[in-house]
Amino acid sequence: MDSSPETVYYDVIIVGGGVAGCAAALTLFHSNPGASVLILDDADPGVFKIGESLPAAAKQILTYLSPDLLQRLSGDGHERAYIKCTGNASAWGSSELEETHAMMNPFGMGWHLDRACFDQILRDTVSSAAPDTISLVKGVFMSVDTRDDALHWSLSASIFESDKTRVFTSKWVVDASGRKATVARKLGARTIREDALLAFYAVFVSPPTTEDQDFRTVIEASESGWWYSSPLPSNRRVVAYHTDDSNPTSRDARKQDGFINLLHTNTQHISQLITSGGYDILVHGDAKYPVCTAAGSARLEPPCGVSVSSEAKWIAVGDAAMAFDPLSSQGMITALKMGCFVGDVIARDLLAAGSDDPTSIFQKVYSQAWSKYDEEKQYFYAQEKRFDGEFWRARK
Ligand SMILES: Cc1cc2nc3c(=O)[nH]c(=O)nc-3n(C[C@H](O)[C@H](O)[C@H](O)COP(=O)(O)OP(=O)(O)OC[C@H]3O[C@@H](n4cnc5c(N)ncnc54)[C@H](O)[C@@H]3O)c2cc1C
């Protein structure tokens, strides 16, 4: 690594150490072990993170990223990282629950993750896999620009440990910062939002004496949107309500009593799970439930680019590049796959000293992934024919 007191050079800087950023870093290491990589991440593993159900098909990817990752997930000081997911049960198109059991899945059961803990396990895995070439720094991205020669990026960040601003330079910048796409937007890209779907979620906790034995994700459609609930480690359960920003229920869902009222009037099965399990909204630290977050379909345009000299390149990955409606339950596995793909292409670009422009490959693969997602999303929404309110009309 080429360093001076002011700046440190890396081949690749990844902003965001979530699933996409970690998958990109580990794949880069597999494909080009000599490449120097900086991951800049500002996550607090003590804060609850939404997005918990990981399908069993992810086993292959996790094993590829690190052969001991599944073992780390099952123990290794992280006992509360997950509970099993036995399948989905959906009241979608009918008020009765229709079950998709994990027994029918060739990969077996998936996971309901403590997501903040899972992301931390991934970051720990990155650190231990490549201590000499990958540096993980806790800090927040501030700005990015090309240096005067346009051959490298110059990226500044506020570093938590020293409370100082530092400047790093690199040939590649990967934006893995999630829906905010904070780096790409500074570089002139814009996020195209297909809808204004919001998610309102709350974490519930049940008394230690009650054992919730329902390990499925339960999904329920209602007149004004749709709900899901998944069990979580430590006697917890997450409940999320999805509706459009313009829907009148979105005002009620912002307040705790309004959210609880909607939950018990709009759902039958999830309401029953919460009541029979003796669940109450979790009171923990600064968390104030319900939390409202963007959940709509969104994609970045363009998802990648180059500097004036074409020597310095950037690419967005995971939610930063394309964010899916949570109905798909494909956010994490897609972010993992994209991370692997991007990490490998960058590794090869560095080895070949940039002989080909990889940005056209990224554009093509991303565009195919988006078309497939969009088609599937339309199909699933069209299966719910009982309601014809504004929420459903906009999706059919
Ligand atoms: C309501 C809801 C429910 C969902 N449920 C599921 C589900 O059950 N299953 C599923 O697979 N997916 C689900 N998802 C989607 C899933 O959570 C995302 O697709 C996934 O987290 C994307 O991973 P990522 O690594 O791209 O981004 P993120 O997980 O958002 O990670 C981004 C990382 O970048 C860091 N970062 C951000 N900005 C900066 C900055 N300026 N400086 C430094 N670091 C920064 C963050 O701290 C974070 O660590 C859900 C989403 C929503 C909204």
The structure tokens 């969104």 sit at 298
Instruction: Please work out whether the CB of residue 202 comes within 6 Å of at least one atom of ligand 1.
Output: no
Range(s) within the chain of domains with CATH label 3.30.9.100: 197-294
Q: Is 12 within 8 Å of 37 (Cβ atoms)?
A: yes
Q: What is the pLDDT of residues 124-164, one digit of tens each?
A: 999 999 999 999 999 999 999 987 777 899 999 999 999 99
Helix or strand (DSSP H, E) at 225: strand 225-232
Q: What does the pLDDT read at residue 15?
A: 98
**Distance, CA of 41 to CA of 212 (rounded, Å):** 35
Here the contacts of 75-79 (C-beta below 8 Å, separation 24 or greater) are 78/117, 78/121
Instruction: Please work out whether the CB of residue 332 comes within 6 Å of at least one atom of ligand 1.
Output: yes
Instruction: Please work out whether the CB of residue 229 comes within 6 Å of at least one atom of ligand 1.
Output: no
What are the backbone dihedrals phi and psi of residue 349, each rounded to the nearest 5 degrees, phi first? -60, -40
CA 115 – ligand 1 centroid, Å? 9
With 80 as the cut, is the pLDDT of residue 274 above it?
A: yes
Q: Which of 73-82, 168-177, 352-361 has the lowest mean pLDDT?
A: 73-82
With 50 as the cut, is the pLDDT of residue 4 above it?
A: no
Interhelix angle 359-382/331-351, nearest 10 degrees: 170
Amino acid at 109: M
Residue nearest ligand 1's atom 29 by CA = 18
Q: Is 159 within 8 Å of 137 (Cβ atoms)?
A: yes
CA 41 – ligand 1 centroid, Å? 12
Q: Is 228 within 8 Å of 218 (Cβ atoms)?
A: yes
Is omega for the bond preceding 290 within 30 degrees of 0, making it cis? yes
Q: Is 301 within 8 Å of 190 (Cβ atoms)?
A: yes
Q: What is the pLDDT of residues 216-270, one digit of tens each?
A: 999 999 999 999 999 999 999 999 999 999 999 999 999 999 999 999 999 999 9
Rounded to an integer, the average pLDDT of 19-29 is 98
Q: What is the ipTM of this complex?
A: 0.99
Q: What does the pLDDT read at residue 287?
A: 78
Residue nearest ligand 1's atom 50 by CA = 51
CA 283 – ligand 1 centroid, Å? 23
With 60 as the cut, is the pLDDT of residue 11 above it?
A: yes
Which of 188, 228, 214, 368 has the alpha carbon at shortest distance from 277? Answer: 214
Rounded to an integer, the average pLDDT of 61-81 is 84
User: Which residues are CB-neighbours of 324 under 8 A, at least 6 positions away?
Assistant: 297, 330, 331, 334, 373, 377
Residue 33, number of CB atoms within 10 A of its CB: 12
CA 119 – ligand 1 centroid, Å? 9
Question: Which of the listed CATH numbers 3.40.50.1370, 3.10.150.10, 2.102.10.10, 3.30.9.100 matches domain 197-294?
Answer: 3.30.9.100
Instruction: Please work out whether the CB of residue 18 comes within 6 Å of at least one atom of ligand 1.
Output: yes
Q: Which atom of ligand 1 is nearest to the CA of 201?
A: 1
Partners of 173 in beta bridges: 13, 314
With 70 as the cut, is the pLDDT of residue 295 above it?
A: yes
Rounded to an integer, the average pLDDT of 209-217 is 91
- DSSP-derived secondary structure letter, 47: S
Burial 180-202 (b: 16+ CB within 10 A, else e): ebbbbbbbebebeeebebbbbbb
What are the backbone dihedrals phi and psi of residue 316, each rounded to the nearest 5 degrees, phi first? -100, 150
With 60 as the cut, is the pLDDT of residue 5 above it?
A: no
Instruction: Please work out whether the CB of residue 176 comes within 6 Å of at least one atom of ligand 1.
Output: yes
Instruction: Please work out whether the CB of residue 65 comes within 6 Å of at least one atom of ligand 1.
Output: no
CA 376 – ligand 1 centroid, Å? 21
Instruction: Give me the chain's average pLDDT, please.
Output: 94
With 90 as the cut, is the pLDDT of residue 167 above it?
A: yes
Instruction: Please work out whether the CB of residue 116 comes within 6 Å of at least one atom of ligand 1.
Output: no
Q: What is the pLDDT of residues 305-328, one digit of tens each?
A: 999 888 899 999 999 999 999 999
Instruction: Please work out whether the CB of residue 292 comes within 6 Å of at least one atom of ligand 1.
Output: no
Q: What is the pLDDT of residues 356-382, one digit of tens each?
A: 778 999 999 999 999 999 999 999 999
Instruction: Please work out whether the CB of residue 297 comes within 6 Å of at least one atom of ligand 1.
Output: no
SS3 128: helix
**Extended strands (E) in 37-186:** 37-41, 53-54, 82-85, 87-91, 98-101, 110-113, 134-146, 153-159, 164-175
For the chain, percent of residues with pLDDT exceeding 90: 85
Instruction: Choose the residue to mutate in 319, 322, 366 for probing ligand 1, maximizing ligand atoms within 8 Å of C-beta.
Output: 319
Q: What does the pLDDT read at residue 74?
A: 83
The structure tokens 């912002």 sit at 254
User: Which residues are CB-neighbours of 303 under 8 A, at least 6 positions away?
Assistant: 184, 189, 315, 316, 321, 322, 362, 363, 366
Instruction: Choose the residue to mutate in 177, 237, 300 for probing ligand 1, maximizing ligand atoms within 8 Å of C-beta.
Output: 177
Instruction: Please work out whether the CB of residue 331 comes within 6 Å of at least one atom of ligand 1.
Output: yes
Range(s) within the chain of domains with CATH label 3.50.50.60: 7-52+114-194+296-381
Rounded to an integer, the average pLDDT of 186-193 is 97
The structure tokens 């309601």 sit at 387
Q: What does the pLDDT read at residue 80?
A: 74
Instruction: Choose the residue to mutate in 42, 122, 137 for probing ligand 1, maximizing ligand atoms within 8 Å of C-beta.
Output: 42
With 60 as the cut, is the pLDDT of residue 62 above it?
A: yes
Question: Is domain 7-52+114-194+296-381 classified as CATH 3.50.50.60?
Answer: yes
Residue nearest ligand 1's atom 21 by CA = 332
CA 187 to chain centre: 22
